[in-house]
């Protein structure tokens, strides 16, 4: 497991949370025929699926051959089938139509539009101005809709508290992302999860009650090689630092801001590049910082928290397949530790090439 997976800090103890989901139930044969998830080979970023227009949009590597791509991961409504199927090559230099056939024989035709990524891409909503309210929730998430590249741990803390990653207006019409470490109280303390830090990251979040730290899936498809990244931030560490059992510890809190590039081809994950900023300092005004990427093995003496858990680094000529960017208001959330009300705000992320 990658070491940064431990930096999603949420409370989701099985004794404290309950969840439910709406499933497609029916009498007779199912009429459901949706594409719920869709990726193609050489994809970068995230897929946008419009269920009203039945249009799917996505980007692929600038060097990809559009005429030889194929759908490599698809999720459909229960009992539905797809034509053409997964891993069947298609010519995506023009719109490609996929037919979803429900169990009752009814059909829906989706149109897939593929665009080549620019050589120096930026992430969508990297200024954090766009926020939406997920279906059935009472808090906002970064992005225009559920197809966003950004995720938070909000779903894991709202049962005992309010969302701790939220939009904040820094000027008229200009929003930033605000993360706050919260003391979740004595009930959370029963499972050693008293402190929950605010987080924002590229990837997805699906609450895993059996293993809360596995709820976050970090990273999005990405193939470019930036030299550094720039972001504006401000930080106020909390003045009372507690661990997951509610014990007060004599130590300062720190924010974490970092970017990882990886090669995830096959079963082995290798670290291609690292850019990491961790600081306990109070910064009262939004301040721009630029963090360089170190490609390959990190220099001797680098902090242990920056090293990949499996110890594997990619060679200089290995391809980059995934990008992870993580922000957290408390750096030691793997232990459910942090300063009460530690607050991190970030704005205007830029990848520098």
Nearest CA among 151, 148, 145 for reference residue 163: 151
Query: Does the pLDDT at position 25 exceed 70?
Result: no
- Structural domains counted in the chain: 2
- Domain boundary among the residues 116, 136, 165 is at 116
CA 74-75-80 angle, to 5 degrees, is 110
Query: Does the pLDDT at position 168 exceed 80?
Result: yes
> Tokens 């034509």, residue?
83
Is the same domain home to 146 and 81? no
Is the same domain home to 266 and 192? yes
Distant-in-sequence, close-in-space partners of 200: CB < 8 Å, separation ≥ 6: 142, 150, 151, 152, 165, 177, 179, 326, 327, 328, 346
- Enter the pTM of the model: 0.80
Is the same domain home to 149 and 61? no
291: in domain = yes
Is the same domain home to 304 and 159? yes
Is the same domain home to 294 and 224? yes
Nearest CA among 210, 180, 209 for reference residue 195: 180
Is the same domain home to 184 and 269? yes
Is the same domain home to 277 and 315? yes
Is the same domain home to 65 and 89? yes
Backbone angles phi, psi at 87, to 5 degrees: 65, 20
pLDDT in tens, 117-129: 877 899 999 999 9
Distant-in-sequence, close-in-space partners of 245: CB < 8 Å, separation ≥ 6: 189, 192, 194
74: in domain = yes
Pairing assessment for the beta strands 107-116 and 55-60 based on DSSP bridges: parallel
pLDDT in tens, 143-160: 999 889 999 999 999 988
- Parent domain of 103: 35-116
Is the same domain home to 322 and 216? yes
pLDDT in tens, 54-90: 999 998 988 889 999 999 999 999 999 999 999 999 9
Is the same domain home to 236 and 97? no
Q: How many percent of the chain have pLDDT more than 90?
A: 78
């Amino acid at each position: 497991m990658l070491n940064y997976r431990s930096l999603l800090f949420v409370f989701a103890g099985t004794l404290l949370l309950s969840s439910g989901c709406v499933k497609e139930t029916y009498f007779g044969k199912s009429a459901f025929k949706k594409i719920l998830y869709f990726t193609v080979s050489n994809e970068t970023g995230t897929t946008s699926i419009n269920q009203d227009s039945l249009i799917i949009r996505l980007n692929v590597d600038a060097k990809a051959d559009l005429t030889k791509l194929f759908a490599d991961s698809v999720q459909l409504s229960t009992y539905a089938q797809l034509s053409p199927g997964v891993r069947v090559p298609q010519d995506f230099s023009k719109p490609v139509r996929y037919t979803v056939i429900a169990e009752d024989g009814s059909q829906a035709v989706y149109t897939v539009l593929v665009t080549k990524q620019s050589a120096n891409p930026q992430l969508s909503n990297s200024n954090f101005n766009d926020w939406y309210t997920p279906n059935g929730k009472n808090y906002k998430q970064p992005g225009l809709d559920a197809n966003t590249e950004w995720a938070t741990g909000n779903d894991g803390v709202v049962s005992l508290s309010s969302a701790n990653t939220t939009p904040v207006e820094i000027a008229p019409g200009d929003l930033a992302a605000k993360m706050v470490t919260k003391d979740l109280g004595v009930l959370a303390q029963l499972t050693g999860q008293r402190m929950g830090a605010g987080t924002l990251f590229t990837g997805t979040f699906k609450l895993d009650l059996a293993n809360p730290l596995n709820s976050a899936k970090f990273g999005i498809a990405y193939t470019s090689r930036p030299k550094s990244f720039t972001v504006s931030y401000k930080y106020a560490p909390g003045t009372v630092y507690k661990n997951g059992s509610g014990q007060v510890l004599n130590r300062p809190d720190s924010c974490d801001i970092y970017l990882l590039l990886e090669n995830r081809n096959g079963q082995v994950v290798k670290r291609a590049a690292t850019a990491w900023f961790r600081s306990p300092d109070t910064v009262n005004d939004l301040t721009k910082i630029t963090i360089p990427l170190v490609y390959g093995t990190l220099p001797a003496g680098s902090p242990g928290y920056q090293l990949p858990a499996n110890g594997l680094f990619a060679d200089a000529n290995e391809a980059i397949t995934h990008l992870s960017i993580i922000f957290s208001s408390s750096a030691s959330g793997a232990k459910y530790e942090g300063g009460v009300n530690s607050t991190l705000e970030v704005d205007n992320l830029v990848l520098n090439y």
